[in-house]
């Protein structure tokens, strides 16, 4: 009996080490299978990503619908209603806008062809310039008034690159519609899974990362919802308001210019460049100088209010993320990951800011005495 504990100790240590090894092996296997599954998905990874983003954004709406509609049929009908609503609100109008924009693009191509054959006549507002009138008229006559000057300008601009870009955008739009269709299908199954799926995700996060993981999950969800509201919805709102000013000012192809402005306004600081280009096009097409100035001033006010007040509050307000972190996350994510980076960037920066606050807050481990002494000495010398 006295030798039983001694003889059982190696067996217990062996079982414990084998269990630890199995845990690591299972973790490696799970990670490998997950990476392999993502690799096999190919370009449909984008559909899975956008389906997940839409599920995060639409989850509060699904919760509200199920609370107002407690019928057992709501388990399938509520997700179907959300998916149908997204299709009606975004995809169908997007298709109509693309069709209308294609018509305006044909008109724009006809205008470009006419300008190449006959030149661009000087607009009437050139004669009413308060200063620099002679210099501007001379530049216009030398660069835009004749067919040869317009042809030379187009040669320098290399329109074949623009045409290739337009063709690439057309293929990208068709591929985007296919991906969005699959994303809506994935969204339906995510929402139909409902609370059990969310409970499984919460349980997995808790098992892997503990309480800190739950905090990270909360910040990621808040960043995704804030990014959608602050980037997409605010950008569309800016595009609609500025597009109305294009219509009032008599701009050429106002729908096409409005879509271009809305897409540019989804990215901070890029909307101003799009607005300047559209104002320059309005001037070239012969609109009045007052109308172009009015469009520019109105658009600048809309961009200033949206980019400095509404957008930071929507993106960083729910997770207390400073505007500089938001801006760097958006621009860096867009450059690194493309369009999906508009959501990945703020989410990553939200997690980074959370870890920074947890690591540098009062509850963190105190700094060593040597570090404190160096800081005190440094401040004393500075004083």
Q: pLDDT of 340-352, one tens digit each?
A: 888 888 888 888 8
Q: Is the pTM of this model over 0.85?
A: no
Angle at CA 108, nearest 5°, toward 95 and 170? 40
User: Same structural domain for residues 57 and 132?
Assistant: yes
User: Same structural domain for residues 214 and 88?
Assistant: no
Q: How far apart are the first and last CA of the chain?
A: 74
Q: What is the pLDDT along the chain (383 residues), one digit of tens a residue?
A: 444 444 445 555 555 556 778 878 888 898 899 899 989 988 888 889 989 999 998 999 999 988 888 888 888 889 999 999 888 877 666 666 666 666 666 666 677 777 767 677 777 667 667 677 777 777 777 777 677 776 676 666 655 555 555 555 556 666 777 888 899 999 999 999 888 888 998 898 898 888 888 888 888 888 888 888 888 888 888 988 999 998 888 887 787 788 888 888 887 778 888 888 888 888 777 667 788 888 999 999 999 998 888 887 777 666 677 878 887 888 888 888 877 888 888 888 888 888 888 878 665 444 444 444 334 344 444 44
User: Same structural domain for residues 207 and 188?
Assistant: no
Helices of type H across the chain: 4-41, 45-68, 74-86, 92-118, 133-143, 147-157, 159-227, 234-249, 254-265, 271-284, 289-305, 311-316, 323-337, 341-360, 369-382
Judge whether 24 lies within some domain: no
Residue labelled with tokens 């490696």: 28
Write the pLDDT tens digit of every residue in 148-186.
776 676 666 655 555 555 555 556 666 777 888 899 999
The number of domains in the chain is: 2
DSSP 8-state assignment for residue 130: S
Judge whether 220 lies within some domain: yes
Residue finishing a domain among 193, 222, 247? 193
Tell me if residue 115 falls in helix, strand or coil: helix
Judge whether 18 lies within some domain: no
User: Same structural domain for residues 309 and 347?
Assistant: yes
Range of the domain at 62: 43-193
Judge whether 170 lies within some domain: yes
Q: Please state whether 267 falls in left (phi above 0), alpha (psi between -120 and 50) or beta.
A: beta
């Amino acid at each position: 009996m006295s030798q039983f504990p001694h003889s059982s100790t190696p067996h217990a240590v062996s079982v414990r080490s084998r269990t630890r090894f199995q845990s690591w092996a299972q973790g490696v296997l799970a990670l490998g299978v997950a990476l392999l599954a993502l690799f096999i998905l190919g370009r449909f990874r984008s559909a899975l990503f956008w389906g997940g983003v839409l599920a995060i954004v639409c989850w509060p709406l699904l919760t509200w619908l199920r609370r107002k509609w407690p019928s057992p049929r709501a388990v399938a009908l509520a997700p179907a209603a959300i998916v149908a609503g997204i299709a009606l609100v975004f995809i169908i109008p997007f298709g109509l806008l693309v069709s209308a924009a294609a018509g305006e693009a044909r008109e724009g191509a006809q205008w470009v062809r006419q300008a190449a054959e006959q030149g661009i006549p000087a607009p009437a507002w050139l004669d009413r310039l308060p200063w620099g009138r002679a210099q501007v008229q001379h530049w216009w006559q030398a660069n835009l008034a004749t067919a040869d000057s317009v042809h030379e300008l187009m040669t320098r601009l290399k329109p074949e690159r623009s045409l290739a870009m337009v063709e690439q955008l057309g293929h990208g739009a068709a591929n985007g519609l296919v991906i969005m269709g699959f994303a809506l299908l994935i969204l339906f199954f995510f929402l139909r899974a409902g609370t059990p799926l969310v409970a499984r995700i919460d349980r997995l996060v808790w098992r892997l990362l503990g309480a800190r993981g739950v905090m990270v999950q909360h910040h990621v969800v808040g960043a995704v919802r804030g990014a959608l509201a602050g980037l997409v919805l605010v950008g569309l709102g800016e595009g609609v308001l500025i597009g109305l000013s294009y219509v009032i000012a008599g701009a050429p192809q106002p729908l096409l210019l409005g879509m271009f402005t809305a897409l540019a306004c989804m990215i901070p600081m890029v909307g101003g460049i799009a607005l300047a280009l559209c104002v320059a096009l309005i001037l070239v097409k012969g609109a009045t100088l007052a109308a172009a100035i009015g469009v520019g001033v109105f658009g600048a006010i809309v961009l200033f209010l949206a980019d400095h007040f509404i957008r930071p509050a929507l993106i960083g307000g729910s997770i207390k993320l400073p505007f500089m972190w938001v801006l760097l996350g958006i621009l860096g994510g867009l450059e690194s990951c493309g369009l999906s980076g508009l959501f990945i960037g703020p989410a990553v920066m939200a997690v980074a800011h959370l870890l920074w606050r947890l690591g540098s807050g009062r509850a963190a481990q105190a700094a060593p005495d040597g570090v404190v002494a160096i800081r005190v000495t440094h401040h004393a010398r500075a004083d």
